Amino acid sequence: MEHSKQTQYSSNEKKDTGDGGSVLNGHFDGMVKRPAGGTVRASAPQPLGAECGSHRSAASVMESWREERTRSVEDNEMSLPSLAAAYTTILRGLGEDPQRQGLLKTPWRAATAMQFFTKGYQEKIIDVLNDAIFDEDHDEMVIVKDIDMFSMCEHHLVPIFGRVHIGYLPNKRVLGLSKLARIVEIYSRRLQVQERLTKQIAVAITEALQPTGVGVVIEATHMCMVMRGVQKMNSKTVTSTMLGVFREDPKTRDEFLTLIRS
């Protein structure tokens, strides 16, 4: 499925028409390329596993990353007045007085805050990762756990926060450790659904490193469930994505899950 809609703000490259999957938020089309454990992607033959329906070359991988950005800093500045006006309407609609001292600049503050909470739309994986992939002869599990994550529920526009645990089995290439946290930032600072967020992080790491396997576990609290609705204070949502050998080999998965618990 092709997502070809251009917003008025995307001044960047046109969407690629060649690849069959896209990680533009909200349109995770499920074409997850399983790491073939091989080298150059262009020569990778059959995709593994049943869900992979598309054959992606190296070029299309890079281009799918290029598609991610939909917003720029100039776009932010241009949309700030209408965002602030919208927030003024919201304040009035709630019965508050937007002219009282505490609320005078609230529309602007709330608009800037919301833009910050969705700054993942301004960033590209490629910018963050390009320099930090290193050739290393290491094939043991690498785990970065307890990465604090803050996102926005796309259904209620209310925060989600929690922790992300990432593990991967390198295949001759390792990634700078903070880059894992930066990938989390890019995808979490958007209007999200926890399931999609988990998958996007896993796929991004897979596409960047072609490791033998990737595992991502997210444990989060949804304010939409805590502050309103069912109002269950202590509930937590856990989602996980296991790719490659993490999915196929139960022992690897167990090791990963044990290490993130400790």
User: Which residues in this chain contact another protein in the complex, by CB under 8 A?
Assistant: 5, 7, 9-10, 25-27, 70-71, 75, 79, 82-83, 85-87, 89-96, 102-103, 105-106, 109-110, 113-118, 121, 148, 150, 154-159, 161, 191, 193, 223-224, 226-228, 233
| Residue of 154, 195, 248, 255 marked active site | 154
**Closest Cα partner for 125 from 54, 202, 195?**
202
Contact 160, 150 (CB under 8 A): yes
User: Between 154 and 255, whose beta carbon lies closer to another protein?
Assistant: 154
| Residue of 3, 6, 136, 155 marked active site | 155
Annotated active-site residue 3? The verdict is no
User: Between 27 and 138, whose beta carbon lies closer to another protein?
Assistant: 27
Contact 2, 17 (CB under 8 A): yes
Annotated active-site residue 165? The verdict is no
Annotated active-site residue 156? The verdict is yes
Which residue reads 């209620």 in tokens? 156
**Closest Cα partner for 246 from 175, 170, 188, 135?**
170
Annotated active-site residue 154? The verdict is yes
Provide the minimum distance between the beta carbon of 231 and another protein in the complex, in angstroms, as a whole number: 9
Annotated active-site residue 52? The verdict is no
User: Between 45 and 102, whose beta carbon lies closer to another protein?
Assistant: 102
| Residue of 52, 156, 219, 248 marked active site | 156
Question: How many CA atoms does the CB half-sphere of 21 hold within 13 Å?
Answer: 21
So which residues are the catalytic ones? 153-156, 194, 222, 224
